[in-house]
Amino acid sequence: MQTHEIRERFTQHFVKAGHTAVPSASLILEDPDLLFVNAGMVPFKPYFLGQQNPPYPNGTATSIQKCVRTLDIDEVGITTRHNTFFQMAGNFSFGQYFKEGAITHAWELLTSSIEDGGYGLDPERLWATVYLDDDEAAEIWEKKIGLPAERIQRLGMADNYWHMGVPGPCGPCSEIYYDRGPEHGQEGGPAVDDTRYLEIWNLVFMEKERGQSTGPDSFEILGDLPKKNIDTGMGVERVAALLQGVDNVYETDLLRPVIDAAQEITGAEYGTDDTADVRFRVIADHSRTGMMLILDGVTPANEGRGYILRRLLRRIVRSARLLGATGETLEQFMTVIMDTMTPSYPEIADNRERITRVAVAEERAFLRTLESGTHRFDEAATKTRGTGAKVFSGEEAFTLHDTYGFPIDLTLEMAAEAGLEVDVAGFEAAMSEQRARAKADNLAKKHGHADESVYREWVDNNPTEFVGFSELTADAKILGLVADGVSVTHAAAGDEIEVILDVSPMYAESGGQLGDRGRLVTDGTILDVTDVQKIGKRLWVHKATVVSGGLDLGQSVRAEVDADWRHGATQAHTATHLIHAALRQVLGPTAVQAGSLNRPGYLRFDFNYTEQLSPAQLEEIALITNQAVDSNLAVNTIETSLDEAKKMGAMALFGENYGDDVRVVEIGGPFSIELCGGTHVDSSAQIGPVAVLGESSVGSGARRIEAYSGMDSFKYLSKETALATGLAASLKAPTEELPDRVAQLTEKLRAAEKEIANLHRQQLAAQTGALVEQATEVGKFTVLTHRLPDGVSGGDLRTVATDLRGRLAGRPGVVVLASAEGEKLPFIVGATKEAVELGVKSGELVKLLSGYVDGRGGGKPDMAQGSGSKPAGLDAGFHALREELAGR
C-alpha cells in the first residue's frame, strides 16, 4: 500500500466517524516555543488549552500534519525508525470522546480489512502500553478491545506521559506497537525491545496543563485543562514500512528512490556497509526535510530555521562526497524527492523551480566553503606532521566543524588519508561546550505559550465585526476592558487600556500591514488608539490611552480611524502588491514573497532569491511598478473559497494558514492576484509615485526591497532632485552628465591620493638611512624604537620596518615603529634572522607593547603587527620592550 493511500484511508476513516478533515498547517507557525511544528497537535493548542472553542461542528477533527524534529540531526540514519521530517496522522477530540473512543477508533482502523477501508494488520501482533497507574486504559484494552493482559504493559513517565517539552497541555498516553517478529529482536514486548516491537500509534489522554521543568523527567502540573481531550498520532512512515513489507522507514516508496539515485550518482552500494548505509539514509532523510522546509518558505541562513535548513543541505552534500560523488548532487536529489512527495502535497508542483534554485545555490556556496576548509585542514595536517605528532588536534577538528561545516566523519577520513589520528575526545569536549552554551541561550530565550485566556470569552462568543473595508467610523459598544492582562470594568484618564468592541472600523495588524491609528470618543472622553491587534484571528484588541474623561464597560463609543494614517497605509500595501508582481516579471516565478511591512508612505518587501539584483533589474522593477500606477488599474476584492482562489491563480503567503473562505485582491486583472486580508486603494493611480530605495540581503537566499509611496515618495524624489540640481550647479554640468563628471572627479582624486602616497613612501624611505643611525645596543641586540610622524598607515609601517630590518642584517637587530593614525596607534616589530636565532619572537614583543597602549596584535617571529588606542603609553612601552631585550 502506497503512502498516499495510507494517508487517504486514515482521513476517510475519521471523516466517516464524524471528524472534520483539517489540512496540514505550515511547518512554520507563530509559536514562541517552536522553530517548527513538531507534533500533530500543535495547530490545535488553543483549543486544548481552552483559549478558544474549536470551530468544528462535532468538536472533533482529523489531520495529516507535516512535522519536523531536529534535536538529534547527528543521529539521523544511525537508527532506522526516526526521520527529521515525518507525517503525523492524528484524530482529535475537544471535550467529546475520551479514552474508550480513542482506543476503539485506532483499533478499528488498524485491524479492519483492506476491503473495509482499514490497514488489515494482524491483531495478534499488536501490543499496547499504558501509563503506570492508568487502570482505566488498561481495562479498556482488555475488556473492550479483547487484547490479552500479557500484551498490555505499563511504562513510566519517560515513555507513557506525553508533553511537548515546554509548558502546555499534557497527559498520560497509551501506545500501540506492532511485533515485527523474532528476526528483529527478543521476545517480551516493547518494554524489552522497542526495535522488534515498533511503535506505530500514540493515544494521548490530554487532561492536564504542565509548567516549567523541575528535573530531567519532571515538571510542575499547573492544573486540569478545561476539558478532557484526545490527541492521537499515527506515524505514517512507520505504518508505510509495515504495509509495504520493507525493513525500515528509509526503504518505503517515499525515500527509497532517493537512495537509489544516490547509488547511481556516487557509485556506492546501499546495504553492504553500515557506515555507507548511514550516509545513504542521511541523504534520503535530509533531502525530504530540506525540500519541505524550502516549500514552506525557509531559506538557508546562519541562525534559527535557516540554520537548520543550511545544516541539513550541507550534510547531504558531505554524505554524497564521502560516498564518492564528485560534482553537484542536490538538484538530482531534490528532483527525486519532489516526485515522490507531490501526490500528497500537490503544491510542490508549483514550487519546483524555486526549491531547486535555493538548494543548488546553497550547495555551490558550501562547495566553495568546503574548498577553503580543505585548505585549512591541509595546513593543520602539515603542521602536525612537521612536529612529529600523529594526532590531529581535537580543537582544530572542532574549528573545521564550526567554521567550515566539516563533520567529524569527514575530518576522520581526511586525517586517515594523511596518516593521522584525530583527538576525538578533544573534539567532543569542544562540541559539548558549544551545545551547553547553545542550550543555555535557548532556555534563556524560550518562554511558555502566551496566556490569552482572558480574551477567550470574547473570542468564542463576541468576535469583532470588522467594517473597516468600507467605513472609517462606526458606533460601537465596549464589550471588554483589559489592563495588564486582567479584565477590568473602568479606565480613567492617563490609563493604558485594551478595548474590545463589538464593531470596529480599525484594521488589526496582519499580513505585514500595521494596525490602524485612531480615536474612541464618547461624551467627555477621548482615547487615542495607537495599535490594533488580533487574538485568535477573530477578536480586535484596541490598545489605547485615555486622554481625557473615563470609560466604563458597556458604554457606547464612536470609533474613528485616522484617515491620513489609513490612506498612507493602503497606498503602501497596494504598492507592495505591485512591486511583487513587477519582481516576478523581472526575476521569474522563483522570486516569492517571504514577508513584508507596510506603514503609511513606506514599505519593505522580502522575497526568496539567491542573487543580488543588478541596477538594471532594480530600475526595471521600479519602471513596471510606476507604469502600473500610471495605468490606473482597478483594484478589486473578491471573497471566495480557497479552492476557487487557487484556480484563479491567487498567490498565498508561506507560513499563513487560510480558512475555507478567503479574500482575493486583484489588481489590473492578471497583473496581480493575491490572497490578502489588508486594506487597499480603489485604483492604482491613488498610490501616487513609488520610489524604490534599493535592495539588500537579509540572509542567504533572501533579499529585501524598500520603497516609499504617495507623498513620502514625492518628498524623497523632490529632495533627491534638489540635491542633484545643486550638485550640477556646483560642477557646472547638466544633471544627466553628473554620473560621468563624478566618476571623472573620483578618478582624479584617487590618482592624486596615489601620488601623495608614493611621495609619502619616498619621504619615509629617505628617512630610513638616518633612522638606522639612531639604533642603540641593548644587551645582545641592536634596537631601534621610533615613533614616526602621525598619519603613517600600517602598510607603510611594514614597508619602513622591512627596509630597516634589511639594513640591520648580519647582526641581531630589532626594529619597533609606531605612528598615530586618527584614534588608532598602529605599531610593528621586526627582527633580523640573527635576533630570531637568539630567541626573539616579534609576536611576543607586540603583545608586550600592546599592554601599554591598550592594543592587540600578533604575527610571526620575524615580523608582527598590532594596533592600540592609547598613544600616551607608547614611551613606557618602548622602555619595557628595551628592558625585556636587555634581560635576554
Q: Residue 266: beta bridge partners? A: none
- From 714, 570, 689, 545, select the one nearest 630 (Cα to Cα): 689
- Beta carbons of 301 and 702 less than 8 angstroms apart: yes
Beta pairing class for 152-155 and 126-131: parallel
Backbone angles phi, psi at 515, to 5 degrees: -65, 155
Distances (CA, A) of 688 to 248, 416, 586, 683, 722: 61, 67, 22, 10, 20
Any known ligand binding at 173? no
- Beta carbons of 251 and 285 less than 8 angstroms apart: no
Backbone angles phi, psi at 186, to 5 degrees: -85, 160
Q: CA quadruple 65, 70, 72, 77: dihedral positive or negative?
A: positive
DSSP, residue by residue, 506-559: SPPSBTTBPPP-EEEEETTEEEEEEEEEEETTTEEEEEEEEEESEEETT-EEEE
- From 230, 221, 175, select the one nearest 199 (Cα to Cα): 175
Any known ligand binding at 573? yes
Any known ligand binding at 577? yes
- d(CA 479, CA 467) in angstroms, rounded, equals 17
Distances (CA, A) of 840 to 694, 783, 826, 887: 53, 12, 21, 12
Distances (CA, A) of 675 to 73, 568, 659, 663: 36, 21, 11, 6
Beta pairing class for 781-787 and 813-818: parallel
- State the amino acid at position 6 in one-letter form: I
- From 260, 232, 285, select the one nearest 78 (Cα to Cα): 285
- d(CA 283, CA 356) in angstroms, rounded, equals 16
Burial class (CB in 10 A: 0-12, 13-18, 19+), 274: exposed
Task: Reduce the DSSP state of residue 92 to 3 states and report it.
Answer: strand
Distances (CA, A) of 294 to 45, 262, 308, 362, 810: 25, 21, 11, 12, 64
Any known ligand binding at 542? no
Backbone angles phi, psi at 394, to 5 degrees: -65, -35
Binding residues for Zn(2+): 573, 577, 676, 680
Binding residues: 573, 577, 676, 680
